[in-house]
């Protein structure tokens, strides 16, 4: 397993293309879920320097904070609450270009302006969501969705 990430500059898609095989390498042969989620959040943070990258895991019918990179965050999110709770309830990706326009958005930090939340699965079972927050308005689109889904599909 390579322990150094090769960080590249370039457009967002090129950055994902460079990162994807490296994350694959990091996860290869490692079955511990927390270790893998920790490295995925670190790799995304390191390559893109997003404001906050982290996982919330489904536990007893709520989301509980898991491995993340960035400032401290809310620890528990109820079903269908906030962007994370809504992505979990709908079981679909939510891209929020302006968090102030999202009814019920949970502001863990006032610096976060846009976010993408993607559910993830292990062996077909919904385990939680990955939340990526940006300090810029409208910082996420279908390219992020496509590649982050590919990254999340590596979790086993
Ligand atoms: N904004 C999220 C809460 C999580 S934090 O931003 C890290 C939400 O509305 O669900």
pLDDT digits (tens), the chain, 156 positions: 557 899 999 999 999 999 999 999 999 999 999 999 999 999 999 999 999 999 999 999 999 999 999 999 999 999 999 999 999 999 999 999 999 999 999 999 999 999 999 999 999 999 999 999 999 999 999 999 999 999 999 998
Q: Which of 51, 55, 82 to mutate to test the pocket of ligand 1 (most atoms within 8 A of CB)?
A: 82
Residue 1: per-residue pLDDT: 56
Q: Cα(2) to centroid of ligand 1, in Å?
A: 31
Distance (Å) of CA 125 to CA 16, 25, 61, 84, 91: 25, 23, 14, 17, 11
Residue 101: per-residue pLDDT: 96
Of all protein residues, the one whose alpha carbon is nearest to atom 1 of ligand 1 is 106
CA dihedral 96→106→61→23, nearest 10 degrees, is: 50
Q: Regarding the domain with residue range 2-152, which homologous superfamily does it belong to in the CATH classification?
A: GAF domain (3.30.450.40)
What are the boundaries of each domain within the chain? Answer: 2-152
For the chain, state the CA radius of gyration: 14
Residue 156: per-residue pLDDT: 80
**Closest Cα to residue 97, out of 140, 131, 129?**
140
Residue 41: per-residue pLDDT: 98
Write out the two tokens for 114.
Answer: 């846009």
- Contact 43/150 with Cβ under 8 angstroms? no
pTM of the predicted structure, to 2 decimals = 0.96
CB 131 near ligand 1, within 6 Å: yes
């Amino acid at each position: 397993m390579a322990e150094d990430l090769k960080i590249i500059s370039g457009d967002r898609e090129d950055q994902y293309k460079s990162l994807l095989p490296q994350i694959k390498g990091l996860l290869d042969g490692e079955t511990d879920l927390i270790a893998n989620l920790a490295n995925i959040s670190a790799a995304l943070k390191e390559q893109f320097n997003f404001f906050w990258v982290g996982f919330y895991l489904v536990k007893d019918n709520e989301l509980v904070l898991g491995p993340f990179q960035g400032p401290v965050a809310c620890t528990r999110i109820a079903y269908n609450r906030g962007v994370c709770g809504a992505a979990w309830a709908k079981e679909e990706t939510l891209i929020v270009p302006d968090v102030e326009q999202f009814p019920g958005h949970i502001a863990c930090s006032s610096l976060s302006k846009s976010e993408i939340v993607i559910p993830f699965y292990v062996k077909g079972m919904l385990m939680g969501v990955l939340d990526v927050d940006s300090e810029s308005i409208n910082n996420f689109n279908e390219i992020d969705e496509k590649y982050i889904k590919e990254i999340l599909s590596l979790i086993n």
